[in-house]
Amino acid sequence: MKNVASSGSADLVIVANRLPVDRVPLGDGTAEWRRSPGGLVTAIEPVMRANDGSWIGWPGGTESDLEPFEDEGLDLVPITLTQQEVEEFYEGFANGTLWPLYHDVAAKPEFHREWWDAYVVVNRRFAEQAAAAASEGATVWVHDYQLQLVPQMLRELRPDLRIGFYLHIPFPPTELFQQLPWRRQLLEGLLGADLVGFQLPGAAQNFVRLVRQRVGHKTHRDLVYLPDGRTVRAAAFPISIDAKGFEDLARSEEVEKRAAEIRDALGNPSRIFLGVDRLDYTKGIYARLRAYSELLAQGDLDVEDAVFVQVATPSREQVEQYRILRDDIDRLVGRINGDLGRIGRPAISYMHASYPREEMAALYRAADIMVVTPYRDGMNLVAKEYVACRFDNDGALVLSEFAGAADELRQAWLVNPYDINGMKSALLEAYRADEKERTRRMKAMRKTVSQNDVAAWADSFLAELTAVRPSHGKTVRPARRS
């Protein structure tokens, strides 16, 4: 690749695996674009509007005839993937190699050369599109594990750009990362950025250590010094949620009414436990339900007084490991309800479905105890969403110490998800905690979530990116937030 002249007009370019909209087929054979739920677009949309921004991403299908378009005032640039690239780049290298490896080998990663080749090809396509969209001296913010080669590819094409990269999932320790046959290429890809952001300080330290050991660059604390004179900073920027948006939703009459309906439909138990996860092997759903069932079997809990509601959002259903996980959890829920439930009183109310934000807010309002116990998670925003919705300062959060959120939400009942007995103890403590104890913990967590919301996260990353490279490039204007 060689340098290309600027032809674009965007002063801020967001490069992410997915567009912030989904293409939804309609009954008449046409399709429409529908805004995707998610915190990233909520955070970045105001900054994009303030900076003539463009968003580059994959729309999720294999359509090859899509042109750049505008949706609700946002300039969106779709990237085309073939069916083979979906299988090898997305389902293959991104989710069959990197995802399990970066999540502490929760499943065995696979290393296939053709998957890597597809990853390189697709990353180059994203980089070329970003190079074409960005104005002279623009800021480009690249997101997540699917696009770790884009920063360096983009640097080669457009050395005038200010480039940031943010990893939303965990970054693995040295011993795991070194299993990758393409470890050096990924590290060099990330070093194309001026600022590399992670969820936790430990991840940034892992990255700097690996660069020193595997690439040989000089480092000092959070800085990497490159032979060409550039300096790359690696730092933690813990992501968050639209806290005010969730609280406003939770306070609405419709959500309050729906929360009451949910409790009524469940038989108005004294305590509702709630789990909300993508159906993924990193989320610890199986161990969590097993721990809960043992409490019922031992008589510590009773189905007349308590119920566990588990929402498992469908995820990557074309991938064999995910189909196996779904079958395993289906069987477990059936066995628990068959052994421990009573007529009209299931032990576990299980939904394999996705729900809109309004329904999620109602579930958060209805639940007395939120159970978030992943084996490894970059952050886990569900924990923060629950806290944001508990405006009455009541409710309990049982949280895995291996979720990034545990670094901030220290007042949760923290658990090791591999320790079934420890998880049972925490569930029971949260169940038995008095109002004063619940309020003390929830107040502190709510303060943390409201002060560190997703807008503050985006602003802090972009402000740091501007500061890292003061010599050239346009300064990103912060969004005007009310």
DSSP letters for 184-228: HHHHHHHTTSSEEEESSHHHHHHHHHHIIIII--EEETTEEE-TT
Nearest to 416 by CA among 284, 286, 289, 279: 284
- Residue 380 corresponds to which tokens in the numbers above? 């886990």
339-370 burial, b at 16+ Cβ within 10 Å, e below that, comes to: ebbeeebbbbbbeeeeeeeeebbbbbbbbbbb
Distances in whole angstroms, Cα of residue 313 to Cα of each of 86, 259, 279, 326, 385: 21, 20, 6, 10, 16
> If you average pLDDT over residues 450-470, what whole number do you get?
89
pLDDT band at 474 (very low <50, low <70, confident <90, very high): low
Q: What percent of the chain has pLDDT over 90?
A: 82
Rounded to 5°, angle at Cα 230 from 229 and 235: 145
Name the pLDDT band for 52 (thresholds 50, 70, 90): confident
Banded pLDDT at 33 (limits 50, 70, 90): confident
Mean pLDDT across the stretch 313-318?
A: 85
User: What share of the chain has pLDDT > 70, as a percent?
Assistant: 95
229 has pLDDT over 90? yes
Residues of the chain with CATH 3.40.50.2000: 10-239+455-468, 243-451
> Across the strands, what pairs with 216?
none
* Mean pLDDT confidence for 230-247: 95
pLDDT, position 64: 83
Average pLDDT on 103-120 reads: 95
Res 274: pLDDT = 98
Q: What is the pLDDT of residues 422-441, one digit of tens each?
A: 999 999 999 999 999 999 99
- pLDDT of 22 reads 80
**Burial of residue 184, with CB atoms counted within 10 A of its CB: 0-12 exposed, 13-18 middle, 19 or more buried:** middle
Residue 106: the pLDDT is 84
Please state the rounded mean pLDDT for residues 451-456.
92
pLDDT of residue 463: 94
* 247 pLDDT more than 80: yes
Find residue 56's DSSP bridge partners.
15, 77
Per-residue model confidence (pLDDT) at position 478: 65
pLDDT of residue 82: 96
Q: What is the pLDDT of residue 473?
A: 52
Q: Which residue has the higher pLDDT, 64 or 147?
A: 147
Task: Give pLDDT tens digits for 169-189.
Answer: 999 999 999 999 999 999 999
24 confidence band (pLDDT: 50, 70, 90): confident
Q: Across all residues in the chain, what is the average pLDDT?
A: 93
pTM of the predicted protein model: 0.94
Query: pLDDT grade, residue 209 (50/70/90)?
Result: very high
Q: Report the top-level CATH class of 243-451.
A: alpha beta
- Is 387's pLDDT higher than 80? yes
> What is the Cα 111 distance to its own chain's centre?
24
Condensed to tens digits (0 to 9), the pLDDT of residues 130-166 reads: 999 999 999 999 999 999 999 999 999 999 999 999 9
Cα distances from 257 to residues 93, 125, 149, 391, in angstroms, run 45, 48, 48, 16
Average pLDDT on 454-478 reads 79
DSSP code string of 330-347: HHHHHHHHHHH-BTTB-S
Burial grade of 265 (CB within 10 A; 0-12, 13-18, 19 or more): exposed
Using an 8 Å Cβ cutoff, are 380 and 169 in contact? no
Q: Which residues of 426-452 are buried (b: 16+ CB within 10 A; e: fewer)?
A: bbbebbebeeeebbebbeebbebbeeb
Dump pLDDT digits (tens) for 212-222. 999 999 999 99
Closest CA to 394 of 457, 437, 342, 353: 437
Q: Over 70: is that where the pLDDT of 84 sits?
A: yes
Tell me the CA distances in angstroms from 369 to 131, 166, 183, 247, 342, one per residue in order. 47, 32, 41, 18, 22
Strand, helix or coil for residue 164: strand
Residue 5 pLDDT > 50, yes or no? no
What per-residue confidence (pLDDT) applies to 29?
A: 76
* Residue 322 structure tokens: 């995910």
1 has pLDDT over 50: no
Q: Which CATH superfamily hosts domain 10-239+455-468?
A: Glycogen Phosphorylase B; (3.40.50.2000)
- Residue 345 phi/psi, 5-degree rounding, is -135, 75
Between 331 and 48, residue with greater pLDDT: 331
